[in-house]
Amino acid sequence: MAGLGPGSSVDHRGTIISDGDARAIVERLIDPETDRPTAADLRFDEATFTGAVPFRALRVTGVASFDRTVFEHEVDLASATFDGGASFWGARFKSLLHLDNAEFVQQAMFLEAVFGSSVTAYRATFRQAQFHRAEFAGLAGFALARFEGEAHFSQAQFGGEARFSQATGEGLMDFTAASFAGDLDVAGMTCTNLGLSRTVFEKRVHLGVPMCTGTLNLTDARFKEGVVVRAVAAVVDAQRARFDSTTTFQLRYAQVRLANAILEKPTSIAFQRVTWGHDESALASLDPAASERPKIDSLGGVDTAHLQLTDIDLTSCRFFGAVHLDKLSLAGDCLFDLEVGWGWRLLGTRRILPYRTGRRRILQEERDCRARNGRWSSWSDSVLSPSAGAAGVQGGIALVAGARPSDLVALYRQLRKGYEDAKDEPGAGDFYYGEMEMRRHSDRFGWWERRLLGLYWAVSGYGLRALRALMWLMVAMSTTVVALMLWGLPNGPAKAETVGAVPLPGQSLSLTTTTPLPKLTLPYRERITAARFWKTVPMTLNSVVFRSSGQNLTPRGNAIEMTSRLVEPALLALFVLALRSRVKR
């Protein structure tokens, strides 16, 4: 002790240090100018502190090494400053450890350390924090702590509450393969990436509003009790995660990766419309075109029977490989990609101009198939189709096997059934349209069936396009009117002729009345007249409602009328069906 003074190096490796010895060391290191103990190097490897360790406000300008040190009683390192590296590798803290307001300018190594009681590191600052395989028996309190570099808690075991509320991480916050027997509190945490992959949560978890400008990584994690995840993040990666109980995600901005996740109980993923008070400018600047609404990129391998999506962006979501897709619950305003079509807009009072408009909701798999196979040709089911998570790349498009047009028929059918079961008949219409489109394009269905579906599409959009059916009805009626004027109406009304013989005495009079066949001998320029037009209009209207006009027509006219009595009622029925599909309750 006699040689110690402010700024001295202390080397007591392997020493048993009592409570009085520890206090004596601290007293000799106190700098009278700053009134705080100061040392160059501290080396207590494999030492044993049998009493309290009063190192509050200690400053170490060199290296501090406590590898495999045993602390029998409370350790007070509050407000301490470690300018060099600080190593507590394999140290055992049997009582409280206070790191409040401590500052680790370089690495803080707590690898495989054992904390038998609580650890408090409120407002502590870590340059590089290493808690790999550490064991926390009590509270792990890192609220308001600042991690300027990466912080590794991988494979750590938390027996009590892990409190990281309002903490700030400028690098990766890594909890890979950690185990939480208590609560994990990350409310208000701000970090670049939060890694919870392969982590096991034994009790109910409430991840309260962390903000990650990078990824909230939950891949291969397991939540044995209920979990509530409220987060503002660029990416929420929950691939292959297992949720054994009720799960709630309330998210902003996040691109959600849910492929192959296991959802045992009801799971809700919803858009949080109201901000939680974070400064979200960093996330907004990453992609100025992105919205606050979370997106899901894939549901492949997910049993969606317990899944509810509320106000989620599904424009780029791929559903291929999902199970029980017909039981997927879509609430609120879930966005799908739109197939762009053409409409008409009145501009001013005179001009009607065409404009592009979204016509129906379309799955990303169909858009991939169209990009691969072309728009109008039949699509081979043996051709790979573009998708995410691919095994290869061809022509700049990632490819996976299995997403064939016939598979898309099943996808659209299941989504349609889900909407119909929810009594949303108008919403199911777009998916019925997609189902029919895939049947019409896929070469797994026969030539005749595809041509029949092509006709069904052309005249009424599979019974969903009322204006298209009405247009064809008007065309058919106009054609009937013109055809009757040109070839159906005779020159004039047929006049009956009576033929008889002059009777002789003693004989009866015989008269025969006949009506000659209607004839049309007028020149073509005389057949198109207003009188003939107004005569054919009632006849055409009668044909629309499947009634005979009762007029005398030429043989060609009779054929025209019979054809119109078959075609026009069918078009009228398709028009009514299309209207009904959009307003059905």
pLDDT tens by residue, 220-259: 999 998 899 999 999 999 999 999 999 999 999 999 999 9
Give the span between the Cα atoms of 469 and 487, in whole angstroms.
26
Query: Stretch 203-222: mean pLDDT, rounded?
Result: 89
* Residue (of 362, 271, 262, 359) closest to 317 by Cα position: 362
**Pair 543, 568: CB distance under 8 Å:** yes
Give the phi and the psi of residue 19 in degrees, each rounded to 5. -60, -40
pLDDT of amino acid 140: 95
- Distance separating alpha carbons of residues 78 and 122, to the nearest angstrom: 9
Secondary structure class of 308 (helix, strand, coil): strand
What's the pLDDT score for residue 237? Answer: 94
Full-model pTM: 0.79
For the stretch 71-108, pLDDT in tens is 999 999 999 999 999 999 999 999 999 999 999 999 99
CA distances from 178 to 206, 211, 279, 316 (A): 16, 20, 29, 32
Res. 279: pLDDT tops 60: yes
The reported pLDDT for the residue numbered 380 is 60
Which tokens go with 251? 């998210």
pLDDT at 494 (0 to 100): 61
Predicted local distance difference test score (pLDDT) of residue 99? 96
Locus of tokens 């013109």: 482
pLDDT (tens digit, 9 = 90+) per residue, 322-373?
999 999 999 888 999 887 665 555 555 555 555 545 478 889 888 888 777 6
pLDDT of residue 401: 42
Say what the pLDDT of residue 389 is.
Answer: 40
More confident residue, 510 or 248: 248
- Helix/strand/coil for 104: strand
Angle between helices 466-483 and 555-583 (to 10 degrees): 170
Window from 135-139, 173-177, 323-327, 370-374 with minimum mean pLDDT: 370-374
Q: What percent of the chain shows pLDDT beyond 70?
A: 86
SS3 at position 134: coil
- Of 16-30, 162-176, 499-513, the range with the lowest mean pLDDT is 499-513
Question: Per 3-state DSSP, what percentage of the chain is helix, strand, and coil (rounded to 5)?
Answer: 25, 30, 40
Cα-based distances in Å from 361 to 147, 175, 337, 354, 401: 45, 40, 6, 21, 24
CA distance 213 to 312: 20
Tell which residue, 207, 161, 152, has the closest CA to residue 180. Answer: 161
Q: Could you give phi then psi for residue 473, rounded to 5 degrees?
A: -65, -45
- Chain-wide mean pLDDT for the chain? 85
Asked if residue 557 lies in contact with residue 489, where contact means CB atoms within 8 angstroms, the answer is yes
Amino acid, single-letter form, for residue 353: L
Residue-wise pLDDT for 528-583, tens only, equals 888 888 888 888 888 888 777 777 788 888 899 899 988 999 999 999 988 888 77
Contact 391, 403 (CB under 8 A): no
Show the tokens assigned to 191. 């970090």
